[in-house]
Amino acid sequence: MSTVDYSNGDHSNSELLLEVDDLWLEFRTSDGVAKVLNGVSYNVHAGETLAVLGESGSGKSVTAQAIMGIVDMPPGVITGGEIRYHGEDLLKLSDTRRREIRAEGISIIFQDALSSLNPVYTVGFQIGEQLRLRRGMSRKEAQKRAIELLDMVKIPNAKGRVKQYPHEFSGGMRQRAMIAMSLALDPEVLIADEPTTALDVTVQAQIMDLLKEIQVERQMGLILITHDLGVVAEVADKIAVMYAGRIVERAAATELYRMPGHPYTLALMDSMPRLDQRGQTLNTIKGLPPSLLNIPPGCPFAPRCPRAQDICTVELPESKDLGLGRTSACHFAEELVNRV
Apex CA 202: angle with CA 58 and CA 163, to 5°? 95
For residue range 53-87, list pLDDT tens digits in order: 999 899 999 999 999 999 998 899 999 999 999 99
Query: Mean pLDDT lowest for which of 102-106, 179-183, 262-266, 328-332?
Result: 102-106
Can you give 288-307 as a three-state secondary structure string? CCCCCCCCCCCCCCHHHCCC
What the chain holds in terms of domains, given with CATH numbers, is 16-105+185-337 (3.40.50.300)
Give the 3-state secondary structure of residue 61: helix
pTM for the structure as a whole: 0.90
Q: For the segment 184-241, what is each residue's pLDDT rounded down to a tens digit? A: 999 999 999 988 776 777 888 888 888 888 888 889 999 999 887 877 888 899 999 9
Mean pLDDT score of the chain, rounded to an integer? Answer: 89
Count of residues making up the chain: 340
> By percentage, how much of the chain surpasses pLDDT 90?
64
The reported pLDDT for the residue numbered 3 is 44
| Helix (H), strand (E) at residue 65 | helix 60-68
Q: Which of 180, 192, 174 is nearest to 68 (CA)?
A: 192
Q: How far is CA 96 from CA 86, 90, 92, 93, 120, in A?
A: 17, 11, 12, 8, 28
Between CA 33 and CA 28 the distance in angstroms is 5
